[in-house]
Amino acid sequence: MSDPNETPAPKRRGLKIALALSLALNLAIVGLVGGAVLGARGGFGDGQRDGPPALRTLGLGPFVVALDREDRAALRGRIEAEADPLREERRAIGQALRAVQAALLSDPFDRGAAEAAFTQSRARVVSLQEVGHGALLDQIETMSPSERAALAENLNRVMRRYGGRR
């Protein structure tokens, strides 16, 4: 006869499947966040992995669409001038995501390590956004009142189109 204290195999198998699916989902989320933060394409679509980050990864999403071509190019120029510090921030975000990955793979799960890595990553993302917002404000300062009004109208259209107001 079998041992009455032994757990039936189907329950163990189900638990293993659930844990594997949970790990896969967590890794997928970390990958998506990492890809978004690091700019999966790197640069501005020029294929350089170590170039300046895309404008959208600097917290400028709607403005990328709302700015006219010349202002967008000038903004890119301002950000390219900050390429070295931004590259270091992106590397630090990558290191933090690798630390999260290590915590996900640890047994038992190391919540403290994952939380510390997320805290570090969040601080770096905020730093990237500060650079992006500062460059955008510098660009806006160069605009005339009519250019700023046109930007505001374009931004309004972008926000309506992407769910701000219908």
Contacts of 100 (CB under 8 A, 6+ apart): 30, 114, 117, 118, 121
Least confident of 24-28, 35-39, 61-65: 35-39
Half-sphere exposure of 145 (CA within 13 A, CB side): 0
pLDDT tens digits, 97-137: 899 889 889 888 888 988 998 898 888 888 888 888 898 99
Q: Is the pLDDT at 65 greater than 60, yes or no?
A: yes
Burial class (CB in 10 A: 0-12, 13-18, 19+), 150: middle
Task: Kindly report the pTM of this predicted structure.
Answer: 0.58
Give the whole-angstrom CA distance, residue 63 versus residue 124.
21
Give the whole-angstrom CA distance, residue 31 versus residue 92.
15
- Helices 111-141 and 69-80, axial angle in degrees (round to 10): 130
